[in-house]
Amino acid sequence: MFVVTLLTNPKSGHLDTALVENLRNAWGGQDVIWLNTDIAAEFEVEIKPDNQWTVWEELQKLGVDLIVQPVQGRRKKMLLADMDSTMIQQECIDELADEAGVGAHVAGITARAMNGELDFNDALKERVGLLKDLDAAVIDQVLNTRITYMPGGKTLLATMKANSAYAALVSGGFTAFTSKVAAELGFDENRANTLLIEDGKLTGAVGMPILGRQAKVDALEDITAKLGLDETDVMAVGDGANDLGMLGRAGSGVALHAKPSVAAECDIRINHGDLTALLYVQGYSSSDFV
């Protein structure tokens, strides 16, 4: 059996009842279950629809996300999440670069790296090099004035952890940011790169080895082995090309507001919902939210 989930942005969207019922009828689905009135609904079908992606494209125009997945095993025991543009709404290095006066240049490199056009490690070294001699105090300034959280993050973490799931934040960004974000949202651990500092200023170098695409896969392997979990027990979420390794290996790989080249590689694509969409996809209703 497969479960079909439809959801929209909880702040501005409205999931039309007739739309849900019409799709259920067209696909020969079972009774519709509303996970959150006007926001998210699901129904089961016996066979995966062969026109799924055609329908998906049409629903995207209406601000609706469509996910089709096997019913069995969809509720996960571990969350493995990217940070930049996933759990927070910014790219930390772009914000630091803006403070250093090279924001536009660095943002351009970041966008190309996240879209898979540049080697992640080389792009990171180049961008960090442009931050040389920036006062280290700017890190806290950026954290306090520029960083905002992706809607739904605290609810996602609290609900999954209340159901005995483990949560790990794994970022190609920096520990100075992941440590605070992880503590704020309730992650059990965090892994990221280290910005090197001497005499209160950034040296323009990053600690080695660089945590990139393979390191996120390594984290998936390490943590599941430590917890005695299977990779199918994991939901991974990210938006950039350096996330594709973990998204492909996890039981559920979620492309959240992702770059087009990244979304194209994932069966679960959330372009309109917020982070609570990851709960609906697992079959949680709003009444289950913590």
- The residues carrying an active-site annotation are 82, 84
Give CA separation, 23 vs 20, 51, 59, 63, in Å.
5, 11, 11, 15
Q: Where are the beta strands (DSSP E) in 175-244?
A: 189-193, 195-198, 201-206, 234-238
Amino acid at 114: M
Element (H, E) at 20: helix 17-26
Contact 13, 272 (CB under 8 A): yes
Residue type, 266: C
**Cα separation, 64 vs 40, whole angstroms:** 9
Q: How far is CA 205 from CA 84, 122, 202, in A?
A: 20, 12, 8
